[in-house]
Amino acid sequence: MSVRARGALVCAALALACPAALRAQWSYGAQAIPVIARADPAPIDSSVTQFVVAQPVVWVHGMLWDGRVRLHAMLDGEALTMKNGQIATSDFGEGWSDKRHPHTWAHELIASLVDVARLPGPLHWSLTAGKGFAPFGSDDPMNRPAVLFPANHHWSQILERAVAVVGVRAGPATLEVGWFNGDEPENPWQWPNWTRFADSRSARLTVAPLNGLELQGSLADVASPEHRGGAGLDHSMWNVSARYQHPAGPGALYAMAELARTDEEGVFVYHSALAEAQYTVGRHRPYLRLEQTDRPEEPRLLNDPFRSIRPHNENGNLGITRWRSAVAGYGWSVTRPGARLRAEAVAEAAYFHVTVVTGATLNPEAFYGRNDLWQLGVGLRIGAFDPLHRMGRYGVAAEEPMHHHM
Q: Which residue has the higher pLDDT, 299 or 17?
A: 299
The count of C-alpha atoms lying within 13 angstroms of the C-alpha of 29, restricted to the half-sphere facing its C-beta, is 22
* Tens-digit pLDDT profile for residues 210-221: 999 999 999 999
| Residue 22 within any structural domain of the chain | no
**Structure confidence at residue 223 as a pLDDT band (50, 70, 90):** very high
| Residue 14 within any structural domain of the chain | no
Phi, psi of 390 (to 5 degrees): -85, 105
pLDDT at 14: 37
Burial class (CB in 10 A: 0-12, 13-18, 19+), 313: middle
Q: What is the mean pLDDT of residues 162-174?
A: 97
Q: How far is CA 253 from CA 87, 146, 256, 294, in A?
A: 29, 15, 10, 29
Q: How far apart are the first and last CA of the chain?
A: 36
Q: What is the mean pLDDT of residues 190-213?
A: 96
Q: What is the mean pLDDT of residues 344-348?
A: 98
Q: d(Cα 328, Cα 278) in Å, to the nearest integer?
A: 10
Q: d(Cα 256, Cα 402) in Å, to the nearest integer?
A: 25
pLDDT at 17: 44
Q: Tell whether the model's pLDDT for residue 1 goes beyond 80.
A: no
Q: How far is CA 324 from CA 147, 254, 291, 330, 347, in A?
A: 18, 22, 6, 21, 20
| Helix/strand/coil (H/E/C) assignment for every residue in the chain | CCHHHHHHHHHHHHHHHHHHHHCCEEEEEEEEEEEEEEEEEECCCEEEEEEEEEEEEEEEEEEECCCCEEEEEEEECHHHHCCCCEEEEEEEECCEEEEECCCCCEEEEEEEEECCCCCCCCEEEEEEEEEECCCCCCCCHHHCCCCCCCCCHHHHCCCCEEEEEEEEEECCEEEEEEEECCCCCCCCCCCCCHHHCCCEEEEEEEEEEECCEEEEEEEEEECCCCCCCCCCCCEEEEEEEEEEEEEECCEEEEEEEEEEEEEECCCEEEEEEEEEEEEEECCEEEEEEEEEEEEEECCEECCEEEEECCCCCHHHCCEEEEEEEEEEEEEEECCCCCCCEEEEEEEEEEEEEEEEEECCCCCHHHHHCCCEEEEEEEEEEEEEECCCCCCCCCHHHCCCCCCEEC
CA 209 to chain centre: 24
**Structure confidence at residue 44 as a pLDDT band (50, 70, 90):** confident
Amino acid identity, residue 58? V
Which CATH number does the domain housing residue 251 bear?
A: 2.40.160.10
Q: What is the mean pLDDT of residues 8-15?
A: 39
Give the largest CA-CA distance in the chain: 84
Q: What is the mean pLDDT of residues 393-401?
A: 81
| Residue 76 within any structural domain of the chain | yes
* Tens-digit pLDDT profile for residues 347-375: 999 999 999 999 867 788 889 999 999 99
Q: Tell whether the model's pLDDT for residue 403 goes beyond 60.
A: no
pLDDT at 16: 37
| Residue 12 within any structural domain of the chain | no
How high does pLDDT run on average in the chain? Answer: 91
Q: What is the mean pLDDT of residues 164-185?
A: 97
* Tens-digit pLDDT profile for residues 289-338: 999 999 999 888 888 999 987 776 655 688 899 999 999 999 999 998 88
pLDDT at 291: 98
**Structure confidence at residue 396 as a pLDDT band (50, 70, 90):** very high
- Tally of domains in the chain: 1
| Residue 173 within any structural domain of the chain | yes
* Tens-digit pLDDT profile for residues 273-290: 999 999 999 999 999 999
Q: What is the mean pLDDT of residues 200-227?
A: 96
**Structure confidence at residue 55 as a pLDDT band (50, 70, 90):** very high
Expressed as residue numbers, the domain containing 184 is 35-399
> What percent of the chain lies above the pLDDT cut of 70?
91
In this structure, the chain runs to a length of 406
pLDDT at 178: 98
- Which of 207, 217, 196, 215 has its CA nearest to residue 261? 217
pLDDT at 309: 79
| Residue 18 within any structural domain of the chain | no
